[in-house]
Amino acid sequence: MKELIKELTEAYGPSGREDSVRDTLKCMVEPYADEIDVDKMGNLIVRKEGPGKKIMVAAHMDELGLMVTFIDENGFLRFSNIGGISPYILLGERVVFHNGVKGTIGCEKLDNIKDLKLSKMYIDIGFSDKKEAEGKVKIGDVAVYQRSFSDLGGRILAKALDDRVGCAVLVQTLKELEKPANDIYFVFTVQEEVGVRGARTSAYKINPDLGLAVDVTRTGDTPESETMAVSLGKGPTVKVKDTLIITHPKVKKLMVDTAEKNNISYQLEVLERGGTDSGAIHLTREGVPSGVMSIPCRYIHTPSEMVDFGDVQEGVKLLKNILHKKVT
């Protein structure tokens, strides 16, 4: 499964440009799916047929990016952010475009580091004039972090674990699902990082009886971190609340009961800032009881996100057991 995570995190796929990561996922799920569909927005919908209620399980394919807004006379690229990127983590960072063009990030002279903003930064792709640069990169092209996957043993470091680790959990669960008691729709969504957009339209199309998102969440277990009752290595979380959802009591109970009955370690999660695809799913049509299973993750939205591999494995176990249980 680490191979799955490596391949997925190293794929290119900022919000709105998910085609390449979607192709990778399609190859992975093809042997196990009963039906595969790509909808009008680009969501990849993978059905595993069962007799019961419709369950939608969503993980987003997209990652953060930097979109080129302006190319100056000397070939430097100004950019805007796709998703929540802090300027501080960009200093010295390398990025790569869809066509393989690479660059580094520099900034203007600053008297005080507190004045650092994205508008004072640029991407340098190694050319000295506008014409040359324009031959490689156009206005509106998007770069992502250039980082490879690192296996630290028990833990994993990679870019885009938010939310390719969620995608990997879905793929692995699909592989291990035998005869599900429910009708399962695994949805690999587009454009979560810019406002849960793909989940909104795919949930409307599927019209599920129950919704689940699988995504990452923050932790409170690093030096002087914000207070939060989630740690790496203590299992996946059952979300209780975030900015976009209060988990439906029925779904929370289903998740907690399933974890306890099967001796799967889990943590209860209250996330004070942030949301996931379930925020959109639960407000679909007349409402869909929904929840979230999160994989605890440190350094979210940086090029080096960290998760515990044990949490990922427990996450697969929990999701598999939920889907095997007949939902009423």
> Active-site residues: which are they?
192
Choose one: 3-11, 140-148, 158-166, 312-320; the region binding Co ion (CB under 5 A): 158-166
**Region binding Co ion by CB under 5 A among candidate stretches 120-128, 149-157, 159-167, 225-233:** 159-167
User: Residue 215 touches which of Zn ion, Co ion, none (CB < 5 to 8 A by kind)?
Assistant: Zn ion
CB atoms within 10 A of CB 234: 18
Q: How far apart are the first and last CA of the chain?
A: 31
Name the minimum Å distance from CB 270 to Co ion.
18
Pairwise CA distance, residues 137 & 197, whole Å: 27
How would you write 112-179 as a 3-class SS string? CHHHCCHHHEEEECCCCCHHHHHHHCCCCCEEEECCCCEECCCEEEECCHHHHHHHHHHHHHHHHCCC
The half-sphere exposure of 263 on its side-chain side, counting CA atoms within 13 A, is: 0
Neighbours of 71 (CB within 10 A): 23
> DSSP characters for 251-302?
HHHHHHHHHHHTT---EEEE-SS---THHHHTTSTT---EEEEEEE-BSTTS
Residues that bind Zn ion in the complex, under the rule CB under 5 A: 162-163, 215
Beta carbon of residue 33, minimum distance to Co ion (angstroms, whole number): 26
Q: Which is nearer to Zn ion, 68 or 244 (CB)?
A: 244
Residue 63 binding result from Co ion, Zn ion, none, given CB thresholds of 5 to 8 Å by partner type = none
Residue placing its CB nearer to Co ion in the complex, 162 or 314: 162
Number of chain positions touching Co ion (CB under 5 A): 1
Could you tell me the smallest distance in angstroms from the CB atom of residue 291 to Zn ion? 15
Taking the complex as a whole, the smallest distance from the CB of residue 162 to Co ion amounts, in Å, to 4
Choice between 162 and 314, CB closer to Zn ion: 162
- Specify the stretch interacting with Co ion by CB under 5 A; choose among 17-25, 97-105, 160-168, 183-191: 160-168
Report the residue number, 14 or 180, with the smaller CB distance to Zn ion: 14
Residue choice 18, 93, 162, 269 for contact with Co ion (CB under 5 A): 162
Task: Name the strands in the sheet holding 290-296, side by side, starting at the edge strand that comes first in the sequence.
Answer: 35-38, 44-48, 183-189, 54-60, 210-217, 290-296, 237-241, 267-270
Q: Which does 242 bind (CB under 5 to 8 A by kind): Zn ion, Co ion, none?
A: none
Query: Is residue 141 within the footprint of Co ion (CB under 5 A)?
Result: no
**CB under 8 Å, gap of 24 or more: what pairs does 105-109 form?**
106/76
Taking the C-alpha atoms of residue 305 and residue 143, their distance in angstroms, rounded to an integer, is: 18
Q: Residue 163 or 311: which CB sits closer to Zn ion? A: 163
Provide the residue count of the chain.
328
Which CB sits closer to Co ion, 45 or 213?
213
Distance CA 165, CA 309 (A): 10
- Listed ranges 91-99, 116-124, 162-170, 304-312: which one lies at the site for Co ion (CB under 5 A): 162-170
Nearest C-alpha neighbor of 17 from the set 85, 59, 64, 58: 64
- Look at residue 183 and give the partner it binds from Zn ion, Co ion, none, a contact being a CB closer than 5 to 8 Å depending on partner kind: none
Q: Which does 305 bind (CB under 5 to 8 A by kind): Zn ion, Co ion, none?
A: none
- Closest distance of CB 13 from Zn ion, Å: 13
Q: How far is the CB of 8 from Zn ion (least distance, A)?
A: 13
Q: Which stretch binds Co ion (CB under 5 A): 1-9, 36-44, 108-116, 157-165?
A: 157-165
Sign of the C-alpha dihedral computed for residues 93, 97, 102 and 104 taken in this order: negative
Binding residues for Co ion (CB under 5 A): 162
